[in-house]
Amino acid sequence: MKQVDLTVIGAGVIGLSAALSAQARGLSVRVIDREGPAAGASTGNAGAFAFTDIFPLASPRIVRQAPKWLLDPLGPLSVPPRYALNILPWMWRFWRASFPEQVRRSTLVQTGMMGISKAALETFLKREGLEGMLRREGQLQVYEGEAEFRASLDGWRVREELGIEFRHLKGDEIAGIQPGLSRQFTHATFTPGWYSISDPRDYTLALADRFRQKGGEILIANAEALTANGVTTSSGHFAGKVLVAAGAFSHRLLKTIGISVPLETERGYNTTLPSDAFDLRTQITFGGHGFVVTRLSSGIRVGGAVELGGLDLPPNFKRSEAMLTKAARFLPGLRTSDGKQWMGFRPSLPDSLPAIGALPGHSHIVCAFGHGHLGLTQSAGTAEIIADLVTGKNPGIDLSPFSPVRFR
């Protein structure tokens, strides 16, 4: 096979976006994936560009709520008993990341990354001819009662200081944005600048098509080991620069060169209903229950929550069923028949920041993984940063908070 400038491991939204941005800088690129484009979390997410989600999952509030949630196997945050011992080291790092000073630091860093990603998105879509897939329908965060609403206000004050537009709603004002919600949701906050994509799977496949049209090759093969000058795969060895963008499997590849990264798997569940299952006007986030309902071209998707269960345990689709049961209660007109269930792996680091940058001592290996719930959101920004790195340009952002080896 021909020599290329960059070999990308992973054909999800991060890997393909980076591959296209590298192509746009004049590099020849090959993408390798064990299953092919859009086979993982890039196909089953909620389709949101969640630029206002600047707060890390690790926080004092989450740590306070975690014991209650962990006792509920179908709750917003759970750890299967069979996996509890495996995840203890990660949970210890997660607890440390919840200290107030660390939360402030992660929030500032994430805010900067969101700014870069939002600024890059429309330019990226226009360059690739995909502007028509972008939607601007806003997002509605709903609250059950005054107490839950007031508990959210500190976060909204921070967003206000950062210039994020939103408005708080009560009672009938909520129905003006989204009719059909249960009256138990007495308060809400609407974010009009919230973007989404028509369908995350279609979008990722479109990225793959654009990449191929521009001369790129997508090879279905297993990436087996990183080496001193490239990567060894089931289809042979490829020398040159390598981008590790293999999502939740990335840490296994880094282990082959002796680098340990505390990457865990947030197993995400959803059910996609037919498009006429509900008259959904905007994405609805049920934050107190850990899931969202979103409108895609492929249907109405009900999904979310966090199950820290690794890569090998079988799916527990009772989690999908539990979210769907709640959604039917919260949206009384929702038809729940004929749904399609899904489970996928979201790569998560303890401080909720991705791993982006070159590996110390291995300058030919660059990383872009660990985006958690924000892979689609940060895909265009990450792609531009990676394109800068592999072409020797300063990316204009301090990458030390994103270092793949920051936990050592």
Q: Split the chain (408 residues) into runs of 10 and give each run's mean pLDDT.
A: 92 98 98 94 92 87 70 79 90 92 94 95 97 95 96 92 92 95 97 94 98 97 96 95 97 96 94 97 94 96 90 94 96 96 95 96 96 96 98 95 95
Whether residue 255 lies inside any domain: the answer is no
Contacts of residue 4, defined as CB under 8 A and 6 or more positions apart, other chains included, come to: 27, 28, 29, 30, 217, 238, 240
Torsion of the alpha carbons at 371, 372, 376 and 377, rounded to the nearest 10: -80
pLDDT at position 66: 66
Q: Which helix (H) or strand (E) holds 405?
A: none
Whether residue 171 lies inside any domain: the answer is yes
Pick from 98, 79, 139, 172: nearest CA to 286: 139
Whether residue 334 lies inside any domain: the answer is yes
Whether residue 385 lies inside any domain: the answer is no
Whether residue 81 lies inside any domain: the answer is yes
Instruction: Give the CATH number for residue 77.
Output: 3.30.9.10
Whether residue 9 lies inside any domain: the answer is no
What is the β-pairing status of strands 134-135 and 195-197? antiparallel
Domain, as residue range, for 303: 55-90+135-195+264-348
pLDDT at position 81: 87
pLDDT at position 69: 67
pLDDT at position 57: 86
Whether residue 372 lies inside any domain: the answer is no
pLDDT at position 74: 79
Whether residue 2 lies inside any domain: the answer is no
Gap between the Cα atoms of 402 and 191, Å rounded? 28
pLDDT at position 305: 79
**Based on the structure, what is the number of domains in the chain?**
1
Pick from 358, 341, 371: nearest CA to 404: 358
Q: Where are the beta strands (DSSP E) in 245-339?
A: 264-273, 283-286, 291-296, 299-308
Torsion of the alpha carbons at 37, 43, 48 and 49, rounded to the nearest 10: -20
Gap between the Cα atoms of 12 and 17, Å rounded? 8
Alpha carbon distance, N-terminus to C-terminus of the chain: 37
